[in-house]
Structure 1
Amino acid sequence: MSKLAGKRVLIVEDEAIIAFAIEDMLVELGCVIIGPALRLDEACDLADTELIDAAILDVNINSERSYPVADRLHQRGVPFVFATGYDREGLEWRGSDPEIIAKPYRRDQVQSALERMID
């Protein structure tokens, strides 16, 4: 059984096909899915109201940055990973040093990143 079994993971991704692919990966690992949030306002609402153990945030959500979600999670002490095609220097979020996974996602990358954050 995965270390992630039962962990509540927020998915923020504006491309439905990618969001559902991540959801499938996480369900296979035993995670409980929050979302997926396809819009920034929806993601902010979930970040404010849901019990979350970790999150995967696409940096770009419908031409906006997901930084408001990152800020909310950071304030709540919820670890998250940015998913992006950018390198670290391309990120403009100025909170803690975030974990980053590159697109396209691989299950082992997602699993390792989440396990490091939650452990």
Structure 2
Amino acid sequence: MPEDTLQARRILVAEDEYFLADELSSALQDVGAEMLGPVASVEGGLRMLERGAAPDAACLDVNLGGENVYPLADALIARAVPFVFTTGYDQADVPDAYAHIRRLEKPVEVATVLRALEDLFRS
């Protein structure tokens, strides 16, 4: 897989776990991507979408501070922005409408998230 797959890509990160968000920020910067966020709420993610150009991809924690991320996921789908979920939930807990979205189970390694994001651009 080419090392520059994420270079210059705008990646929205919706994550309320500080350490994972911080690690993702560093890793995305290292591969030349621009991280949008991180945002720790659905409202913050929706505001981010309204403010500027659409991201090229996103990484969404299913639960942001006790709130399901699905309204933000729906907004990304409407804009044709690919994304992955990170979650501690089982696949059965994710609504069927999102069954086609790749789900990365927490705890998740940052390298796994990066590979999943790269895969979005190869499919």
Shared fold per TM-score greater than 0.5: yes
Give 1:59's aligned amino acid. Answer: V
Q: Percent identical across equivalent pairs?
A: 34
Residue by residue over 1:61-102, the C-alpha shift from the partner in whole angstroms, topping out at 9 and shown as x without a partner, is 111000000000000000000001122211126146101112
Give 2:121's aligned amino acid. Answer: I
Q: Give distance in 2, aligned partners of 1:95 and 1:13.
A: 18
Partner of 1:58: 61
Provide runs of 4+ in structure 1 moved above 3 Å: none
Task: Between 86-95 and 24-33, report the one with greater CA deviation.
Answer: 86-95
Give 2:120's aligned amino acid. Answer: M
Contact 1:71 1:95 in 2 (8 A): no
Contact 2:23 2:110 in 1 (8 A): no
Q: Which runs of 5+ in 2 are unaligned?
A: none
Contact 1:74 1:95 in 2 (8 A): no
Q: Provide the aligned C-alpha RMSD in A.
A: 1.6
Q: Give distance in 1, aligned partners of 2:96 and 2:87.
A: 13
Task: Between 35-44 and 74-83, report the one with greater CA deviation.
Answer: 35-44
Partner of 1:101: 104
Q: Which runs of 5+ in 1 are unaligned?
A: none
Query: Quick one: which of 3, 10, 32 aligns to 1:8?
Result: 10
- Residues 1:89 and 2:92 aligned together: yes
SS at match of 2:97: coil
Q: Give distance in 2, aligned partners of 1:93 and 1:16.
A: 29
Q: Give distance in 1, aligned partners of 2:4 and 2:107.
A: 22
